[in-house]
Amino acid sequence: MAASITIAPIVEGMVEEWRAFVGQLQGPRRIDWAQSQRRRGITRQVVTLAAGEAALAVVFTEAVDIEQAASRLAESDDPFDSWFRQQMSRLHRDPYDAEVVFDSAPRPGPWRGWR
C-alpha cells in the first residue's frame, strides 16, 4: 500500500463551486466516485480544505499503486472520470506534491512492537 499527499490550489473565487463539487461526490455521484476509486485501486482518500490567503485542497490518498491510479484516471474514457477531470481542471490550478518529511508507519518486516 502506498500513500501520497497532494496540495491543489483552488482557483481564486471558486471555493463555493469547489464545495458544490465535493458535495456532488458525497451525494448524487457517490456511487460513481466509489466505482472510479475502486477501478483505480484507491483504498482511502481524505480531502481537506485549508483556507488562508489562498484556498488549498489537501488530499491524502492511499492506493495499491499511486502512480498507476493517477494514470488510469488520466487515460480513462469512463463518463464519470471525464466529468471528474473536467471539474478538477476548472476548479484547480496546477497541483503540487507535498514533501514527506516524516512517516511514522512501520516499515515492512518483522514487527517487534513499540519499545
Reported as a single tens digit per residue, the pLDDT across 50-59 is 978 889 999 9
Check residue 100 and give its pLDDT. Answer: 63
Burial grade of 107 (CB within 10 A; 0-12, 13-18, 19 or more)? exposed
102 within some domain: no
24 within some domain: yes
Check residue 99 and give its pLDDT. Answer: 63
Check residue 23 and give its pLDDT. Answer: 96
Domain count, the chain: 1
114 within some domain: no
What is the residue range of 14's domain? 2-97
Is there a contact between 9 and 89 (Cβ–Cβ < 8 Å)? no
Domain at 92, CATH number: 3.30.70.100
Q: What is the secondary structure of 49-62 as a DSSP string?
A: EE-SSS-EEEEEEE
9 within some domain: yes
First to last CA, the chain: 25
pLDDT tens for 3-20 read 888 888 999 999 999 999
Answer whether residue 104 shows pLDDT above 70: no
pLDDT tens for 19-54 read 999 999 999 999 999 999 999 999 999 999 997 888
69 within some domain: yes
